[in-house]
Copies of this chain bind each other. A is one copy, B any other.
Amino acid sequence: MNEPQENGTAAGGGRPPMRDALITAAFELFLERGFEHTTVEDIVRLAGVGRRSFFRYFPSKEDVVFPDHERCLADMTEFLESGDGEEEPVARVCDAARLVMRMYAADPAFSVRRYQLTRSVSGLRSHELAVVWRYERTLAGYLRRRLHHWSDGTLRADVVAASVVAAHNNVLRSWLRSGAEGDVTEQMDHALQLVCASWGLGAENVSADAAGGDDVVVLVAKRRTPMWRVVREIESTLEEG
């Protein structure tokens, strides 16, 4: 069989057609007869390609369900490394997380089908956990480098990375559960803003309205006031300004 020399990872902008055909065939079979009862042989037969083609693109049957994560992880790493080191670190990892959201939002119908599939197959859920873990460690690694001069830098880096991933996944999953209804970008902005307000380290955290002013805020609070109330109070003051 004379197969075109496509490369699974260096595909640049789009997906190669053969890879796409394998993904389409795999999903059709997974939904029809279940993930466990579908073999790689079934997939290549339906896609009309050779078995070796499958393994050129996907290390395993699980990987065909998450075909774009490797590229997205590489994009994320590149994005984080491309900064000049002056960016506010928490906002930067939020922007890095948005790359994942955009990958899902680029093909909502496919993302919804995959979400339904991963909900029902335990083997896929653990594979997904491993993928999410790699994103989280990528974000945490960047933060650890940026916060290395803090005495609790690794702790803070890990907590912020986990917060960003949790906020991102809360929005993404709720959007997928709804069948990709509504504006995921707007919901994501709100969620990541919550993380930035709590953990952010730079001037980006004050609201945009207020960022221009150099005037002062005076806050008077009872000593027993919980910290979250203090933060809320300051935030609402800044928003009114």
Contacts and interface: CB of A to CB of B under 8 A. Distances in A.
Contact of A230 (B167, B225, B234): B234
A167 B154 CA distance: 10
Given A130-B129, A217-B223, A223-B215, A159 B154 contact: no
Contacts of A219: 217-221
Interface residues of A, number: 59
A202 interface: yes
A162 interface: yes
Interface in A133-189: 133, 152, 154-156, 158-159, 161-163, 165-167, 169-171, 174
A191 B221 contact: no
A125 B126 CA distance: 11
A200 interface: yes
B194 A206 contact: no
A211 interface: yes
A104 interface: no
Interface in A206-241: 206, 210-211, 213-228, 230-231, 234-235, 238, 241
Contact of A214 (B194, B204, B205, B224): B224
Contacts of A195: 159
A163 B195 CA distance: 11
A130 B238 CA distance: 41
Contacts of A130: 125-126, 129
A194 B155 contact: yes
B227 A200 contact: yes
A201 B169 CA distance: 23
Contacts of A191: 152, 155, 159
A162 B158 contact: no
A241 B133 CA distance: 42
Given A223-B241, A231-B231, 13 more contacts: A129-B129, A152-B191, A154-B174, A159-B191, A198-B198, A200-B226, A200-B227, A203-B224, A206-B223, A210-B224, A211-B224, A217-B222, A227-B231
